A = this chain, B = another copy of it.
Amino acid sequence: MEEGMSGFCIRDGSVRGNSGSTGTKCGRWNPTTEQVKLLTELFSSGLRTPSTDQIQKISTQLSFYGKIESKNVFYWFQNHKARERQKRRKVSFDDDKDVNIRRENSMNFSTQNFAYQVSEPESVIETLQLFPLDSFGESESEKLRVHSNECWDTKMFSYTMGEQMNHPPLDLRLSFMST
């Protein structure tokens, strides 16, 4: 719930432009070009949801290029995957009701800039060897997730637990204003 802690970013220039983090004290991680490049390589190599272990390694590797945390890697893959799918989804079915205010044909800006992986795959592979990419079989085949459910209604689901009959004294004491 750390929501309000944002808004104190002091950027001193384009972080993505320079590789050496110029002491940018940002609240938000700003990946360097090298970091993005590597992440992108990994992604295009098939890695989509790295495990915690992989995240650690990747983070460690990327830390060479600049400040980075594990969660950044985590979020990066989450976002990257989600957005790729999102883009694809946007063009797939554009038959909405009528209030469809979506931007049409957003493919102008090179749908995927992952193209430059062919430039120098060698060096990348060398780096990638640290992480066992095995999740290639996952592919990007949509799961066709159906949002069938949308009605919990008022019926109270019971995610039963073992003992609920006479559950012990619940410690629901609110410590409001316990200043």
Chain A interface (Cβ < 8 Å from any Cβ of B): 1-5, 7-8, 15-16, 21, 27, 36, 38, 40-42, 44-47, 49, 51-56, 59-60, 63-64, 66-71, 74, 80, 83, 86-87, 89-103, 106-109, 128, 131-136, 139, 148-179
Contact = CB atoms under 8 A, between A and B. Distances in A.
B174 A97 contact: no
A128 B174 CA distance: 7
Contacts of A60: 93, 95-96
B89 A45 contact: no
Contact of A47 (B21, B134, B169, B170): B170
Given A95-B59, A109-B3, A161 B155 contact: yes
9 contacts: A1-B86, A5-B90, A54-B170, A69-B91, A71-B157, A139-B173, A160-B170, A160-B172, A165-B166
